Amino acid sequence: MFLSSSETLEGVPFSRSRITLVRLMLPTDVNFAGNVFGGSLLKVLDEIAYVVGSRHARQNMVTASVDRMDFLAPVHLSDVVHFTGQVTHVGHTSLEVSIHIEAEDLHGTSRRTVGNAYVTMVAIGPDGRPVPVPPILAETPEERRLLEEGRRRAEERKARRPTGGGSP
Ligand SMILES: CC(C)(COP(=O)(O)OP(=O)(O)OC[C@H]1O[C@@H](n2cnc3c(N)ncnc32)[C@H](O)[C@@H]1OP(=O)(O)O)[C@@H](O)C(=O)NCCC(=O)NCCS
């Protein structure tokens, strides 16, 4: 779907940013017991958040935070992993991407949820500073509900964010 500049200014439809990336788990992704490293999944998580965020904002994006990531079930060598991402909140210069991760065996006979996460991406202008992102437009009651949940998570995230830097 092509969006003109004026459509981007008015807002981007909720459904536009939904994307699934599929990855085959290779020998380089696993430990000696054949279990996939958490980091292999986190790398793709970051990748899909970047693609989803960039498609919405049409700006360079950086990862500001990844909310708690629980690995709910093991993933093995030769599993096929599906990462589905969707923008679920838009702030002023940041947006939230909700990511659902499922794994299935190579032949697709069984599929299970292996993780969920929320990634906050910030749009960055040519001077390296945050720039505004276009609003998101809900078209159905379900989309409105998901955006309301995203707004609440964004508020909670902001409330618990550390205010300063410093050494660990
Ligand atoms: C993310 C970053 C650009 C924010 O810069 P900043 O000076 O704090 O900018 P601001 O205070 O203006 O915040 C900009 C937006 O980011 C959000 N934000 C900032 N830090 C955040 C965090 N830790 N988690 C979630 N959102 C965050 C703010 O809420 C704000 O959102 P809004 O405009 O929608 O309200 C900056 O911390 C940075 O460059 N971090 C490194 C990013 C990076 O390189 N990531 C890749 C891994 S190294």
pLDDT in tens, 123-162: 999 999 999 999 999 999 999 999 999 999 999 999 998 7
Give me 139's structure tokens. 């078209």
* Closest CA to ligand 1's atom 27: 64
* Closest CA to ligand 1's atom 46: 63
Q: Does domain 17-157 have CATH number 3.10.129.10?
A: yes
Q: Residue 26 and residue 80: Cα distance in Å, rounded?
A: 10
Pairing of strands 136-137, 12-13: parallel
Output the pLDDT for position 68.
86
Output the pLDDT for position 168.
56
Give me 148's structure tokens. 């309301």
Any ligand 1 atom below 6 A from CB of 43: no
Any ligand 1 atom below 6 A from CB of 153: no
pTM of the model: 0.93
Any ligand 1 atom below 6 A from CB of 91: yes
Report pLDDT digits (tens) over 80-109.
999 999 999 999 999 999 999 999 999 999
* Closest CA to ligand 1's atom 5: 130
**CB within 8 Å of 146: residues ≥ 6 apart:** 14, 86, 88, 98, 138
Indicate the domain borders of the chain. 17-157
Report pLDDT digits (tens) over 22-61.
999 999 999 999 999 999 999 999 999 999 999 999 999 9
Any ligand 1 atom below 6 A from CB of 34: no
Output the pLDDT for position 125.
96
Q: What whole-number percentage of the chain has pLDDT above 70?
A: 92
